[in-house]
Amino acid sequence: MDIENDLQKFQTRNLRDLTEKDMLFLIEAYASRRKDYNNIASIIKGDEEIICRMIDSERVFNKVMECKNRIIEISPYFLFSLLLRKSFRENRKNQKFIDIALEQLNSSDPLIPWNEKRLMDMLKDNGIANYMANMLAQFTKSFDLFKTSQSDKENTHHIVDMIEDSIKSDNKRKFYIFCHIGDYSLFLTGMLSNYIEYGVVHKQMLLDKDSYVSFGKVYYSLASETDSAKKNMLADTLSQLSECFEVFVQVLHFMNRKYFLRN
């Protein structure tokens, strides 16, 4: 697939092509009775179904959570993939989460009403989990949170400035900006909601959480309609991120609270 250089933050990384270091960690954690790790790696490399089954196992999850320096032992992408997939699975079993999600999704009178089966399919979508894992991994480098694309030399801290930039940009750059506004909004509302609340209370932020949710939904939708989204097979993923933005915010809340803030 022909992915433009600046699309690295969207989906270059995937579970089919884990780094050698991540792959060996995964195999060692999963295949506890075997020691021929390199041989196993050569057999399963590129087999997404097998790798997903391994990364979703409790053995691998427990091994990761036992690591005091897990950011050193595995890549941020591997860590976020594992924890996001775990969070999606946990919430698929949570009837309260499902009921609230369906109420949120249907509150805006969608053209096609949401039901439990449709919600479950969305929560099982590997493309969405992969996109979100790449986004979170990218934002572990804090300076990337404020850059529309990797080639930008200056930081942009406010959505209104990003929108102004999009108005005067060509179609290719518009796509990057639209995606970045969606990513930025999802990251803030999902991972840093307390930061938003603090900023609003102390008048250090112009926008509240609801405003970020609205911007995220709108700009993911705009991104999904671009030629770049279609070319890089992201149109459906971006459309779902827009339509179900509030649900993904809750998944990130769950992951952050249960796996990062529990200590």
pLDDT score, position 158: 72
pLDDT score, position 3: 41
pLDDT score, position 147: 52
pLDDT score, position 144: 55
For residues 71-93, one letter each, b for 16 or more C-beta atoms within 10 angstroms of the residue's C-beta and e for the rest, the string is eeebbbbbbbbbbbbbbbeebee
Positive/negative CA dihedral, 231, 234, 240, 245: negative
CA distances from 92 to 113, 128, 230 (A): 19, 15, 29
pLDDT score, position 2: 41
State which residues of the chain have pLDDT below 50.
1-3, 6, 8, 143, 263
pLDDT score, position 63: 92
Q: What residue segments make up the domains of the chain, in order of their start?
A: 95-260
pLDDT score, position 139: 85
The pTM for the full model equals 0.86
Positive/negative CA dihedral, 157, 163, 166, 167: negative
pLDDT score, position 262: 59
pLDDT score, position 124: 95
| Max intra-chain CA distance, the chain | 59
Residues in contact with 69: Cβ distance below 8 Å, sequence separation at least 6, in sequence order: none
CA distances from 164 to 142, 169, 170, 171, 181 (A): 22, 9, 12, 14, 12
Q: Which of 142, 136, 97 is nearest to 116 (CA)?
A: 97
